[in-house]
Amino acid sequence: MTSAERLAALRAELAREGLDGFLIPRADEYLGEYVPPSAERLAWISGFTGSAGLAIVLKDRAVLFTDGRYTTQAALQTDPALWERRHLIEEPPGEWLHRHAPGARIGYDPWLHTEAWLARLSGVRLVPVAANPIDRIWTDRPPPPAAPVRLHPLAFAGRDRAEKLAAAAAELRAAGHAAAVLADPHSIAWLLNIRGGDLPHTPLALGFALLLEDGRLILIMEEAKLGPDVLAALGPAVTRRDRSDLAELLAGFRGRAVRCDPDATPAWFPATLRAAGAEPVAAEDPCRLPRACKNPTEQAGARAAHRRDGVAMARFLAWFAAEAPAGGLTEVAAARRLLALRREQPLFQGESFPAISAAGENGAIVHYRALPEADRPIRPDECYLIDSGGQYLDGTTDITRTLWSGPGPAPEELRLRYTLVLRGHIALATARFPRGVAGPHLDALARRPLWDAGLDYDHGTGHGVGSFLSVHEGPAAFSRSAKPIALAPGMILSDEPGFYLPGAYGIRIENLLLVREAEALPGQTRPFLEFETLTLAPYARALIEPQLLSAAERAWVDAYHARVLAELGPALDEPTRGWLAQACAPL
């Protein structure tokens, strides 16, 4: 079908159900960052393939809402004769519906939205549908993923699944909750020490689970994904049921409280619990915070993974320094080179997200992605930004470096602004703070040098990172808009301030930080925390203005570079080690 025919078919389905419109998010029932091809309903109906967006299809108009990251992409991928485009933040969908469709009956799939999000559409006449109408007209829809589940060894996980189940169940009992809906596959992967291959970049086995207060768990997952070795390892505390059994299972909690994380649970679950006479309680997934606080084994794995990732990065940076000044490189070729070097590292499983390989003006597009059909050259004497990461069995990495392609010197303005970003990056990395401080409280540290110059950036300063799980993990984050979750030892977060000049260049510097206990100072009256930098890669000397750094900042950069050389040098060939020694020489 053409785009116009798909819209017409959807509108015919809506008319049959007595609906005036329908909400189409870029989401599946697991509400995660990535979705399998079988759940790309927004892309199928609109042509838009970005990772975040929402469509509203009415009888006589269709509107696509995206944020500023995808304004250009939405314009390129959607037919303006069929689709209007709106900014998700500047013109929220609820406000748009109030203005343009007052009183309309708007259908939604309760598996694809949380109740918390639907509440933001207060006043709109929302109608849940029993079956998604797009699925009835998408005749060549791909089958859902069915990759086999694999065990995540205790040597990498660090805690036995029985211990995790007991701790999570104890939390439920203390709260008076009979069970918890685990709708986030990350929690199931962490809790049961399993991984899968249902999604790109994140090693998940898609499924749901019901955690009971007595420590038993009902796993809602296809039997074909679970081999006999996995079932045997999970033990008698874990039983498997089909998704078709969910309504019956929830009905068994009549008169009892069941925890549902408001940020991670499809609206179908609390609605079904209420209909069965149970009490859905909005409370955080009991696995979310323990998952974020990496145990000693996971912390050691993160350090080891970053050393191996650092070897790949050093080889890439040395290659770029040799090749870029002559021209001939492209964004796609550079990203492929880095991926090839990572693939040579032990325990590497794949990229943790599609690399952002952005030259010149493309660096100013925060979530830019180089595509073969629009492969921009990396020209001599320009700025180049590479944001990438790897999935290793013992850890997940995420690093950004902004480089100068040479051979000439970088412009003074670029050097000044890079150094301001570097100063903010250092300020966060070196922070000491009392227990109870949250990421939003520290966000301003990374922005202060830019603010002093009248500059800023529009994204958060950092996100949580999983342990061979998602590269974007909650609940903690360095962001003004994030929920203030107190930082705790074992959390891993990114430190990535930046500056972006549209049409010219982008600057971002990113390391991953591990929260740890800080050594007590004389007279200290309460416990303090600090960060350990995990990422190992030199900064771009061609873009640093040393005179803008304080003596303490220069000393920190020199000490960091000395550590990079000491930890990576022995694993490198002689030419790369020689380049790294120059890149890590004292400022």
How confident is the model at residue 50, as a pLDDT?
85
Tokens of 145: 């993923």
How confident is the model at residue 291, as a pLDDT?
98
Alpha carbons within 13 A on the beta-carbon side of 237:
18
pLDDT digits (tens, 9 = 90+) for 306-364: 999 999 999 999 999 999 999 999 999 999 999 999 999 999 999 999 999 999 999 99
DSSP string, 294-311: --HHHHHHHHHHHHHHHH
Sign of the Cα torsion 570, 576, 582, 587 reads: negative
Query: What structural domains does the chain harbor?
Result: 3-137 (3.40.350.10), 150-286 (3.40.350.10), 293-535 (3.90.230.10)
How confident is the model at residue 76, as a pLDDT?
83
**Single-letter code of the amino acid located at 160:** D
Average pLDDT over residues 209-221: 98
Average pLDDT over residues 192-211: 97
The Cα 587–Cα 426 span in angstroms is 15
pLDDT digits (tens, 9 = 90+) for 432-456: 999 999 999 999 999 999 999 999 9
Residue 83 has pLDDT above 80, yes or no: yes
Task: Give the global pTM.
Answer: 0.95
Residue 585 has pLDDT above 80, yes or no: yes
**Strand ranges, E, within 415-560:** 433-434, 462-464, 473-478, 492-495, 498-501, 505-508, 511-517, 528-533
Chain-wide mean pLDDT for the chain? Answer: 96
**Single-letter code of the amino acid located at 240:** R
Residue 283 has pLDDT above 90, yes or no: yes
pLDDT digits (tens, 9 = 90+) for 99-130: 999 999 999 999 999 999 999 998 899 999 99
- Consecutive H or E run containing 280: strand 279-282
Residue 72 has pLDDT above 80, yes or no: no
Q: Label residue 67 by pLDDT band (50, 70, 90).
A: confident
Tokens of 459: 């994204």
Average pLDDT over residues 147-152: 98
Lowest mean pLDDT among 38-47, 117-126, 526-535: 117-126
How confident is the model at residue 371, as a pLDDT?
81
Sign of the Cα torsion 147, 151, 157, 159 reads: positive
The Cα 392–Cα 68 span in angstroms is 32
